[in-house]
Amino acid sequence: MQNKLPLIIDPIKAAQKKLDYVGYYPMQSATRVDSPKSDIECSLSFYYDEQRLCVIAIDAKITLEQICQRCFKPFITEVHVMNKFSPVKSDAQAETLPEHYEPVLMNEFGEVDILALLEDEIILSLPIAPVHDSKHCEVSEADMVFGEIPTENEKTNPFAILVSLKNKG
């Protein structure tokens, strides 16, 4: 097991060596993740499965500050991502992967950008509209407005005149 996490790695060679990494990426290195409050704690495992597919197993945690979409106050949340990837060189190869693996595209040198992969997974796991737990939110359910949408007044059909002309003829 190694403590220094790679930024870019050849997953085939790493799987042949059955490498495992445990460590963290500094929060400053997660440039695409908004408002990180902690480093990215991460464990990586590279191995071959029973089908002889190269596998990258990722387990990572990060603490983020998000804005509640009910009360618009910031709150702290922990994001935990776990996934298994299999490196591919083309979209055609990605189509043949078993469903329990996500494809990850290797660059022209046969390497994978692990930090970019982690950032992608963190971003994908974020909710579309982050909100506090209702116990901690300043906006209570009683303050939320629920109701019926008022019906729109009936508008006259602009083609009604044509119908009347057709009926006369």
In the chain, domain spans: 8-146
Q: What is the pTM of this model?
A: 0.76
pLDDT value of residue 68: 87
pLDDT of residue 3: 62
31 token code pair: 């440039």
**DSSP SS3 for 147:** coil
Q: Are strands 8-9 and 112-113 parallel, antiparallel or unpaired?
A: antiparallel
Q: What is the pLDDT of residue 71?
A: 84
> Tens of pLDDT along the chain (169 residues)?
556 788 999 999 999 999 999 999 998 988 898 889 999 999 999 999 999 999 999 999 999 999 988 888 888 999 999 999 999 998 898 899 999 999 999 999 999 999 999 999 999 999 998 888 777 777 766 556 666 766 777 777 777 778 777 777 6
Cα angle for residues 63, 65, 68 (degrees, 5° grid)? 130
d(CA 110, CA 8): 10
The pLDDT value given to residue 147? 65
pLDDT of 72 reads 86
